[in-house]
Amino acid sequence: MSDKWTELDVPQQRDRVAVVTGANTGLGFETARVLAERGASVVLAVRDIEKGKQAAARIAAQAPGADLAIQRLDLTSLDAIRAAAAELHSRYPKIDLLINNAGVMTPPKRTTRDGFELQFGVNHLGHFALTGLLLDRMLPVPGSRVVTVSSVAHRVRAGIRFEDLQWERSYDRVAAYGQSKLANLLFTYELQRRLAPLGSTVAVAAHPGVAATELVRNLPAPVRVVLPAIMPLFFQAPARGALPTLRAATDPAVLGGQYYGPDGWRENRGYPRLVTSSDQSHDQAVQRRLWDVSEQLTGVTYPID
């Protein structure tokens, strides 16, 4: 295998069940497409069923005979997450891959239905709850993986603002996004530490670099104006941006607790490789504290605790 790992390096996934959140567009779509092409049974977990159907049709056109299913998943509602998890439980006796990909980036201040700041609620708490509710379907499966998509933006200076997690005192959309992406890594590392004694399921993280996806729609207006000119220079296509996630999910050499991203300058673009995350993402006291707070806020406890 060369250093330039591509989707052609994804091994066969036949007889594996993969749940991909946010699979109707961007990185999630490309991740689902490749897994389906390699023979996995892929569940597109999406908020909008019609968009999910359209995405499934596009994948099926490229991979005739692909085994695809659509699951409604609204990560802005804990009740909806519980309902989705219950439906997945009834349909799948085992899950091999859970890819926590869906996310929102730098929106104006909004909250989830449960009152959480939108980015923290969707990007971290929603996936924390979903993973906890599906983990019992993964624990008996050798080689199963939870892959959570973070970002270079996790290197936020403020860290996790435990004193104001929901940004009720003031709101900085960029810093709030960074907090949610740092939370993705803290969650991955803490989850892996708790999974390690069991020896079956592992937790891994990835980031896409700077990818041209729909997430850029909430960037400041002046930035959006110049995006068409700078995208070819600084952004990589979603298919390339999905490669770190795919490697984290399928490379047989991957170990629990690893983090994958592009190999280029500042990890903005390139081929996927093992990368390092910030020092604060490895702070075990912060990892444990965030875990405890996440359990309290979501009401979800893990079957490994």
List, in order, residues 6 or more apart from 223 with CB less than 8 Å away: none
Quickly count: other Cβ atoms within 10 Å of residue 282's Cβ.
14
Inter-residue contact 258 to 281 (CB < 8 Å): no
To 5 degrees, how large is the angle CA 130–CA 137–CA 274? 70
Q: Nearest CA to 167 among 201, 204, 120?
A: 120
CA distance 184 to 128: 9
Q: Which of 177, 189, 259, 260 is catalytic?
A: 177
Give the pair of three-digit tokens for residue 160: 């996790």
For residues 113 and 138, give the distance between their C-alpha atoms in angstroms, rounded to a whole number: 28
How far is Cα 278 from Cα 287, in angstroms, rounded to an integer?
13
Spatial separation of the C-alpha atoms in residues 280 and 159, rounded to whole Å: 7
Question: 84, exposed or middle or buried, with CB in 10 Å at 0-12, 13-18, 19+?
Answer: buried
Structure tokens at 188: 């991955």
Q: Annotated catalytic, 260?
A: no
CA 184 to chain centre: 8
Report d(CA 124, CA 122) in Å as an integer: 6
Contact 231, 212 (CB under 8 A): yes
- Which residues form the catalytic set? 177
